[in-house]
């Protein structure tokens, strides 16, 4: 309760400070917004994933400044502390011209939107052709409750997200077909465990290197979703959103996992296994598959090929006719209303350049023959790129065009694997299923969702490990259906869903 009161106070102070500044700061533009000949001063806050962030004298920062006639002041923040930095910045009211909010649907962002503290970009976006190249899903999924866009999405691919991948060389060795259903997958995993596919004469292999955490199914999530045939916790049934934990398909999924656990097709310590440990099982030639993005399957493949040249991780297209579609964004850049309209339009122009081929390639790959070379149409980074901090993980977090095949390529990957990955992504696009709850709001879920998710995941883990019989899930699901908080969350989610439909239509 104290946290919620504190948050409410912060939001109230934030909104007051921003709205007050709107009336007083419009005229105080420093002369840069209205004079196209002067470099436009732009303050930005974003995250970085490189060991060190680019400095103000970074070669790419300087080149972008030159090409866009800007002077950039960038606050780079580690992803480990980004959410906290966003909260502090919002509370201060001193918001940069372009600020990445990694979650567009937090209480702070919703309040800013409802109070008119950030620019509604909906009427302006159409004037920026490169931004308009973003997928419709990307723009729709970042709309607020009123059906309007209050930020520039940090665009990401719709296809190629986390799903099951398997050892193709083991399938070939055991003369098994690529599984199309969860039943066929079970048969494959059983063979991986029982028929010594790594050829060392020992029974030391597991089917899938998977793990869970306290709130989610983590690397078991997409297998679960292959039963419920929807991404996430909600499924549209007869025009309404129903929580998947109340569906009979969830019990089927848990029964499958319980059987797999009993037959050692998944690690016995899956409940405490860490991400890095699951990856180590793959790299140690002891697991037949895992869950990750399409291009991430290359990571264990590359390691294995040092000693097993034929090693090959194959991302599956789908199971039971299902594969997930991602949201098409990872956060968005908001522009506070303290920024005058003419400068706001120049910021949109700046970001539009960043999503052009030239701007995006410059930010992500740098200068040709300095930071990258090109082979068969693929850009290969040089050592100089590392020295100059030129990467998608650096300025590519600000400037990036929509690339359907972003999750098909990793550095060092052979061209044949890259081309196969592109075909897999194309096939997934014909059948992928989105998360229908993206962007929907439930205040009750904000307040109690964490504890509720822990309760649900704890029961799932117990059923999978046999600490509770599968029949216990029926009783649990029935209690969940009648839980006052679950009822309120469901009602609020559906109200938010109907509001979005009405706003879009």
Residue with the two structure tokens 């997958």:
185
pLDDT at site 37: 76
Using CA atoms, how far apart are residues 366 and 330, in angstroms rounded to an integer? 22
Q: Please tell me the predicted confidence (pLDDT) of residue 36.
A: 57
* Rounded Cα–Cα distance for residues 336 and 113 (Å): 10
Sign of CA dihedral 318, 320, 321, 325: negative
**DSSP of 146-169, one letter per residue?**
TS-B-SEEEE--SSS-SEEEEEHH
| Residue 62: closest CA among 349, 361, 362, 392 | 362
The vertex-405 CA angle with 400 and 407, nearest 5°, equals 85
At residue 240, φ and ψ (nearest 5 deg) are -125, 150
How many residues in total does the chain contain? 505
pLDDT in tens, 304-355: 999 999 999 999 999 999 999 999 999 999 999 999 999 999 999 999 999 9
Homologous superfamily of domain range 163-323+434-504: Periplasmic binding protein-like II (3.40.190.10)
Q: pTM for this structure?
A: 0.87
Q: What is the pLDDT of residue 258?
A: 98
In angstroms, the CA 198 to CA 300 distance is 15
Q: Where does CATH 3.40.190.10 sit in the chain?
A: 2-158+328-403, 163-323+434-504
Q: Are strands 98-101 and 329-334 parallel, antiparallel or unpaired?
A: antiparallel
Q: Which residues contact 165 (CB under 8 A, 6 or more apart)?
A: 289, 290, 291, 292, 294, 297, 313, 314, 315, 316
- Three-class SS of residue 143? strand
Kindly state the tokens that stand for 291. Answer: 């869950």
| CATH class label, 2-158+328-403 | alpha beta
For 220-254, the pLDDT digits (tens) are 999 999 999 999 999 999 999 999 999 999 999 99
**CA-based nearest residue to 352, from 15, 197, 127, 179:** 127
Block mean pLDDT (10 aa), the chain, length 505: 40 44 37 61 96 95 98 96 91 92 91 93 97 96 93 97 98 98 98 96 95 95 98 96 98 98 97 94 97 96 97 98 96 97 98 97 96 88 94 94 94 92 98 95 93 97 97 97 98 94 79
Q: 3-state DSSP helix/strand/coil percent for the chain, to nearest 5? A: 45, 15, 40
pLDDT tens figures, 180-225: 999 999 999 999 999 999 999 999 999 999 999 999 999 999 999 9
């Amino acid at each position: 309760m104290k946290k919620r009161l504190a948050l409410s106070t912060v939001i109230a102070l934030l909104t007051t400070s921003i709205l007050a500044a709107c009336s007083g700061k419009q005229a105080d533009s420093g002369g840069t917004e209205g004079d196209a000949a002067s470099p436009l001063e732009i303050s930005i806050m974003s995250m970085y994933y490189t060991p060190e962030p680019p400095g103000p004298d970074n070669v790419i920062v300087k080149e972008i400044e030159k090409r866009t006639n800007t002077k950039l002041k960038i606050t780079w923040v580690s992803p480990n502390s980004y959410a906290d930095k966003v909260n502090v910045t919002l509370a201060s009211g001193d918001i940069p011209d372009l600020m990445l909010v990694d979650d567009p649907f937090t209480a702070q962002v919703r309040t800013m939107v409802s109070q008119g503290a950030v620019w509604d970009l909906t009427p302006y976006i159409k004037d920026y052709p490169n931004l308009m190249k973003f997928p419709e899903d990307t723009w729709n999924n970042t709309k607020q409750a009123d059906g309007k866009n209050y930020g520039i999405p940090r665009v990401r691919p719709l296809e190629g997200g986390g799903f099951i991948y398997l050892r193709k060389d083991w399938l070939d060795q055991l003369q098994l077909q690529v599984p199309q259903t969860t039943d066929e997958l079970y048969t494959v995993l059983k063979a991986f465990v029982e028929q010594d596919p790594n050829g060392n004469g020992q029974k030391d292999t597991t089917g899938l290197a998977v793990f869970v955490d306290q709130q989610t199914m983590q690397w078991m999530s997409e297998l679960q979703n292959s039963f419920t045939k929807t991404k996430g916790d909600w499924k549209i049934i007869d025009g309404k959103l129903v929580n998947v934990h109340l569906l009979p398909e969830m019990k089927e999924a848990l029964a499958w996992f319980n059987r797999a656990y009993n037959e050692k097709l998944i690690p016995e310590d899956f409940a405490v296994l860490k991400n890095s440990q699951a990856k180590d099982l793959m790299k140690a030639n002891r697991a037949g598959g895992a869950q990750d993005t399409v291009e991430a399957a290359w990571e264990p493949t590359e390691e294995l090929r040092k000693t097993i040249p034929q090693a090959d991780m194959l991302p599956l297209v789908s199971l039971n006719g299902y594969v997930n579609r991602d949201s098409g964004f990872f956060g968005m850049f908001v522009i506070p209303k303290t920024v005058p309209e003419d400068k706001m339009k120049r910021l949109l122009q700046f970001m539009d350049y960043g999503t052009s081929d030239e701007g995006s390639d410059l930010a992500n790959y740098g200068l040709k023959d300095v930071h990258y070379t090109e082979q068969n149409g693929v850009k290969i980074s040089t050592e100089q790129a590392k020295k100059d901090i030129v990467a998608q993980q650096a300025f590519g977090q600000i400037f990036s065009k929509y690339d359907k095949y972003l999750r098909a390529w990793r550095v060092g990957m052979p061209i044949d694997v890259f081309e196969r990955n592109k075909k897999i992504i194309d096939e997934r696009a014909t059948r992928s299923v989105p998360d229908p709850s993206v962007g929907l709001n439930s205040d009750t879920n904000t307040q109690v969702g964490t504890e509720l998710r822990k309760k649900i995941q704890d029961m799932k883990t117990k059923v999978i490990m046999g600490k509770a019989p599968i029949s216990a899930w029926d009783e649990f699901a029935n209690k969940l259906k009648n839980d006052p908080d679950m009822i309120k969350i469901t009602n609020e989610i559906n109200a938010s869903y109907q509001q979005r439909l009405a706003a879009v239509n």
